[in-house]
């Protein structure tokens, strides 16, 4: 309830004040304002892998916030690093050659992480603004090297790259475009790396689908004109678009096409880096050699907002060569390399390294994946259980064969996620097909994994039992 001025009255509940005052990202505005969003929850506190709501109920955060709290909640060393930095230097900018120690040390650390393949780090606050920076760097690079027509950007259907106007255009999910007059004409999309629904899924050549993806990319470049295509952006492992590890041979085939037509490669590691799929960086794991690399989320484990656009040798050389003609590099944000974010990131990276959380992600992730596959083996609506490290998904299909989609109106993955929350697990219904995704903190133990498998398994049991035979078979 609100007063006549639109402000929440003192007797309102916290939930009502939330509905009356906040515009929530990626939430249906009318439903939320009317209290019709069943997932409304107010998280009050958190520790380890669990979050506690304002009513005192604790649940496993199977999504690490938004794929980001890699080291888990309540890490005092990160909190202390932020507090110490706030006391010493709460803010300073890095414009016009100014700097501060935390920005310098973090940039040095990130360049070292790439083995020196990336030459500079440009800091922002989110994955979206970091990818926005990458777009401007691509355009600047091609202007400097005398190829000003190479401005088009190719992304993949089902990829996620941000929520700004250009990065939402890159995002290959139609519901991110509706109502915003997106995507922009400079952005094109190509085949998603999802063999599950492709004819090649059962091909005796496991690389058949990867070859088709590369052929589709090449056909798109030729259609648009190689002289107009500047960059290709992709996640090493697709995140929100379905959690899709690359099929065999995918990245080798894709990179061969990009090199043939002199198209820059942007590796969007916003979700994948800092142990999420099992390595500090995902690109080396898949043989990816990017020209630009985007980092965020696990960079600070969400303890403070910070992102990094990593700049490879070719683009760094162009930035220097462009100085005489263009003068200053006229791009940046008030809070670029914010001292608190940089301090949080340095403390966070130290935890990941000291506790070998990348190894834990690989080991416990493999255990979780195998356990999920075993638990879901008898489920008639489970089509595939897949993942990399501690980034995993269960995709639901109609009872078959042949393979068919469940009716979208059933919102089956949302029902499963709702029951999972009842069981004590936060999982996410992904915005494509019928898929439930999970990305728990990298501190997960085998016992925690067993809990997750039990909770999600019971949720799937409950959701399946509600459906009629016609609904399960995709006929209704």
Mean pLDDT of successive 10-residue stretches along the chain, which has 476 residues: 48 86 91 86 96 95 98 98 98 97 98 98 98 98 98 98 97 92 96 92 87 98 98 98 97 98 98 98 98 98 98 98 95 97 98 98 98 96 97 96 91 96 97 96 98 98 95 86
* Chain centre to alpha carbon of residue 128: 10
Whole-number Å distance between alpha carbons of 59 and 51: 6
Q: Quick check: 8 and 20 in contact, CB under 8 A?
A: yes
pLDDT at 319: 97
Whole-number Å distance between alpha carbons of 273 and 344: 16
pLDDT at 199: 84
- In angstroms, the first-to-last Cα distance of the chain is 40
* Chain centre to alpha carbon of residue 362: 18
pLDDT at 23: 93
Task: Report long-range pairs for 161-167 (Cβ below 8 Å, ≥24 apart).
Answer: 161/127, 161/128, 161/131, 161/233, 161/268, 162/126, 162/127, 162/128, 162/129, 162/131, 162/132, 163/25, 163/128, 164/128, 164/129, 164/132, 166/131, 166/132, 166/135, 167/128, 167/131, 167/132, 167/135
The tally of CA atoms less than 13 A away on the side-chain side of residue 247 is 24
Please list the residues that pair with 8 across neighbouring strands.
Answer: 2
Q: What does the pLDDT look like over 240-269, one tens digit per residue?
A: 999 999 999 999 999 999 999 999 999 999
The model's pTM = 0.95
Domains in the chain, CATH or no CATH each: 41-71+357-472 (3.90.1150.10), 77-354 (3.40.640.10)
């Amino acid at each position: 309830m609100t007063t006549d001025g639109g402000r929440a009255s003192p007797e309102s509940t916290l939930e009502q004040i939330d509905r009356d005052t906040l515009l929530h990202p990626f939430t249906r505005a009318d439903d939320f304002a009317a209290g019709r969003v069943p997932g409304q929850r107010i998280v009050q506190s958190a520790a380890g892998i669990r979050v506690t709501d304002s009513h005192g109920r604790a649940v496993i955060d199977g999504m690490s916030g938004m794929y980001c709290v890699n080291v888990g909640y309540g890490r005092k060393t990160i909190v202390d690093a932020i507090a110490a930095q706030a006391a010493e230097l709460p803010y300073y900018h890095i414009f016009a050659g100014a700097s501060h120690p935390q920005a310098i040390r973090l940039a040095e650390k990130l360049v070292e992480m790439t083995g020196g393949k990336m030459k500079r780090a440009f800091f922002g606050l989110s994955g979206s603004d970091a990818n926005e920076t990458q777009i401007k760097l691509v355009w600047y690079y091609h202007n400097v090297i005398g190829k000003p027509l190479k401005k088009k950007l190719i992304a993949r259907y089902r990829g996620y790259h941000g929520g700004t106007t250009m990065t939402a255009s890159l995002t290959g999910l139609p519901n991110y475009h509706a109502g915003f007059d997106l995507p922009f004409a400079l952005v094109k999309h190509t085949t998603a790396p999802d063999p599950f629904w492709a004819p090649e899924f059962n091909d005796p050549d496991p690389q058949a689908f990867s070859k088709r993806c590369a052929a589709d990319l090449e056909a798109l470049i030729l259609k648009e004109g190689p002289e107009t295509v500047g960059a290709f952006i992709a996640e090493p492992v697709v995140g929100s678009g379905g959690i899709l590890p690359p099929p065999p041979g995918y990245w080798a085939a894709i990179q061969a096409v990009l090199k043939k037509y002199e198209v820059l490669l942007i590796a969007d590691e916003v979700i994948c880096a800092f142990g999420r799929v099992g390595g500090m960086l995902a690109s080396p794991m898949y043989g990816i050699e990017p020209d630009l690399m985007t980092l965020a989320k696990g960079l600070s484990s969400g303890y403070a907002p910070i992102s990094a656009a990593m700049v490879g040798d070719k683009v760094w050389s162009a930035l220097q060569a462009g100085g005489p003609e263009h003068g200053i590099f006229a791009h940046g944000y008030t809070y670029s390399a914010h001292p608190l974010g940089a301090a949080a990131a340095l403390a966070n990276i130290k935890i990941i390294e000291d506790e070998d959380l990348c190894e834990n992600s690989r080991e416990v992730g493999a255990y979780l994946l195998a356990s999920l596959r075993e638990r879901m083996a008898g489920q008639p609506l489970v089509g595939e259980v897949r993942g990399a490290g501690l980034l995993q998904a269960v995709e639901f299909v109609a009872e078959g064969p042949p393979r068919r989609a469940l009716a979208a109106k059933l919102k089956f993955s949302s029902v499963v996620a709702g029951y999972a929350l009842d069981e004590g697990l936060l999982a996410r219904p992904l915005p494509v097909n019928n898929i439930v995704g999970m990305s728990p903190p990298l501190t997960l133990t085998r016992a925690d994994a067993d809990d997750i498998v039990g909770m999600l398994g019971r949720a799937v049991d409950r959701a399946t039992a509600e459906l009629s035979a016609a609904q399960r078979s995709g006929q209704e």
